[in-house]
Structure 1
Amino acid sequence: MKIRWLNCGRGVHSLRAKLTLTNVALLALGIVATTAISLMGMRYYLLDQVDSQLTKMRDSLSGSQLTIRQIDSLSALSFVRDRVVPDAKDQQRSDPDTIYAAVDGRGNAVGILGVDPTEAQTGLARAVGDAAALSRDADPHDVKVHDTPYRVTAVQLSDGTYVLMGTSTEALHNGMGKALKLDFTVGGLLLVLLACVTLFSVRRKMLPLEDMVETSSAIAEGDLTLRVPSSTHPTQEVEQLRLALNSMLHQVESAYRTREHSAAQLRRFVADASHELRTPLSAIRGYLQLYDKGMLNDPDERKRAWERVLAETDRMGRLVDELLTLARLDQQPELRLRNVDLSRLVRDAAEDLRAQQPERPITVGADGALLVRADESGLRKVLGNLVGNVRTHTPADVPVRLELERENGHVRLCVADQGPGLREEDAARVFDRFFRAGGGAGSGLGLAIVQGVVDAHGGEVTVTTAPGEGLRVTVTLPTRGHH
């Protein structure tokens, strides 16, 4: 059953949702900051234009030295029309864009050219309050006339009358409001678009991660052969993760296979050891039962039975010793490395074989001294088992050759006989424990011990054989030892 954990939805706790929320939040923050800065800049620019116009009009009146009576005279009418007095139609509007009002020292609006103050002029005077303070301030102020925002400034005439000049900023605020709505509308659409693009992009980028989850789930269910496939357009980090995960899965599979093989080998080893030990124990038990029942009355029979018991005891002792040797090799013991003359060990093994089988032709190719960094007792055991294998499984008149040579930092030891040889299927199992080709003599542990000792030294052992062509065992060892 395939499970797509990343696709089943985890709310805001999923990586996809977190990345989307992060991108949307950053864009929203950027939109808010950009909108605020742009609106502030626009407001400053437009207000600066309004203030500049008001300041120019104030300065023109301030330098004219006019009085309110002079403004009332016909000689000043044209100037006032151009500079101060608004159009009659504008005066009738409740909230004109520009308001000019004359106020006395008490802050009350007064008429100009015999015209009573309009409602807008009266409202402006009331909103300003202290015209004297406003005239002393170089910058215009913000006031509200009938809930309409104005920028207003004041100038004092030579007779003490104050002229208020106000320009409506309602259009400016309305424009800023529309710009704000437009920015937030476009920003919202951008946020929605970014969220959709991020979700699609993240989902596409996370497909390899979903494949990894599926593969891991399948492996957890027992299928160790699966690997994470490569995506079409992988990112560098995801590809590195895929390669690392596949490498780890390969190691896990190898370790699992090795463990299963070791467990099976151990079970087979225990079964074979029990079988091998049962044979001498059964023989010993049988002779003891015969003796206990008084069935060995003849001295010759008792002697023969005793010899058989001793032989089976010796056989069982050798088997136990070999089993202990293999057990120690499986535990990877620390070798006692020192310089060993391998040529001398080869010659000693050949002499032992001559003493045991004088009629066997033996050829030794190990002249001079050849030093290797190795455990001497282990090498003696290797040579003893190889020679013993020849002695046990070949006729006594079959020639055997022991060769020793150095090559590229390694030493090659060959023990070859001209015996009957092995079939291909038997040669493939020759290093298995308790394997005996054709059910021959021996415990079947000799070559297994040879392989264990050679592996402990960091070397290699191989077998070359064929039916009727003899058996050639080649041991390759490093000259500097194995750490």
Structure 2
Amino acid sequence: MKAPRPHPRRRPWSLPGRPWSLRRRLVVSSVALVAVVCAVIGTVTAIALHTYLYGQLDTQLAAVAHRAEGPPPGSNPLPHLRSGNELGFVIGGGQPLGTIGAKVSDGKITDSALSAQTENSEAGPQVTPESLDAAQIAALSTLPLDGAAHSIDVPGLGTYRMQSVATQNGTYLVGIRASGAQDTLNTLVWVEVCVTAAGLAAAGLAGTALIRISLQPLRRVAATASRVSELTLHRGEVALHERVPEADTDPRTEVGQVGASLNRLLGHVGSALHSRQESEMRVRRFVADASHELRTPLASIRGYAELTRRGREDVGPDTRHALGRIESEAGRMTSLVEDLLMLARLDAGRPLSLAGTDLSPLVVDAVSDARAAGPDHVWRLDLPDEPATVHGDADRLQQVLANLLGNARTHTPPGTTVTARVTGDRHHGVLLQVVDDGPGIPPDLTPYIFERFARGDASRARGAGSGSTGLGLAIVYAVVAAHGGRVWVESVPGRTAFTVQLPSRVRQMTAHDVSAGERPDARQDSQQGLRFTTRS
């Protein structure tokens, strides 16, 4: 039984799949704080006004209830009681229009009245009582007879504030209109909502502007870090001069503390890179000097060994074999020293002899040499019809081709087909590929194939005596990088492709070139002849 999979928790302050920026969080926090403050103020204001207005209504209602109770015993009765009208208090002096009165007997309303203003042609406007309809009486019947003030909705009349009054003549219901107080409260709530919305909008705009200004130092710190991240710090001489501006390193502020810390970090990194560069330069000088000095004794060893082997004195077969091995290993060591010397010169930034160079003749010559050195392989050419011109050093590019073809010859079994291909145009650069159908490169070696002294396992190597120094592909990488290009490898069992991308350069023919016999048609004819020779 599988354990239940935990539900992924979303990070706070983030949208689905997208975290919030600091500026957005600050703006939202400030707007939310303003919204909470406005809500609290609006709620307290509404409650206070509600208490005040309904307190006034209850005071007026108490006066109406006092009139309904009638005079104390022994005093003169009120006019409405003398006339026999028990609900006449609704039109008494000082009563507001719309006052309701009702008589309750045995829990039922037996009589009701509403003060209303009528027009009389002779006497003018008068306040007269009017009877309530059945729906209004039914609404009044729901009022509790507890002597407390209650708010109820009377059909056709609106909200009323009502209470029951127990008198010596029975129980009465009295009420006055509360619609005015309720309208006032509704108006206040609407005004508060509008003002709050306007305030939140203003707070959002002002907060965005203020926070943007406040975060400018932090953005400058981030910009400095971004510029440093774009520098090439892993190789070559590094001049790490990027620093946070002095104005953004005030230790009294949080951003200043970050800026000062970043400057200290950049200073330490710059010192470390400077020390690394000095150490690399010492190693390069040592390798260059040692390689240069070793060439002479190695040449002497090879010369004396060959002289001894070819001398007049008779030597035994074992001695001849030993002398042959001395010559072979001296030659192998000479090749290693030459490769080390070239890498040291490339690392030191020695300038190349750059000129317009057509890769097709170089590929033809390199494949011809590879065919002579490896007749057990099948060599093929795939060249474009137009010249593939690059701005490069012909000698160094020839060495790139020789190393790539030699790598394919050395690390693939006999019968492997090796194809040298040139493609490209003026927009995407010129691509040079060396493809073989050998066993491929181990996947764990592919990321380190262009490092110095990187070697494949026995599945790709033909033998220990192949003469490989492990520097050929490193030289390829260094030469291509010096030309402003790049090189990569793609390898699966049955196909290994080394691809070199170089910037293209369309060579403009001059009058001198034409007079010297370097015509486009002659160049093309010569190239076709070379292709025919190598394919035969």
* TM-score interval, normalised by the smaller of the two chains: 0.3 to 0.5
TM-score normalised by the chain length of structure 1: 0.48
- Greater per-residue helix proportion: 1
RCO higher in structure (CA 8 A, sep ≥6): 1
Decide which structure has the larger Cα Rg and report it: 1
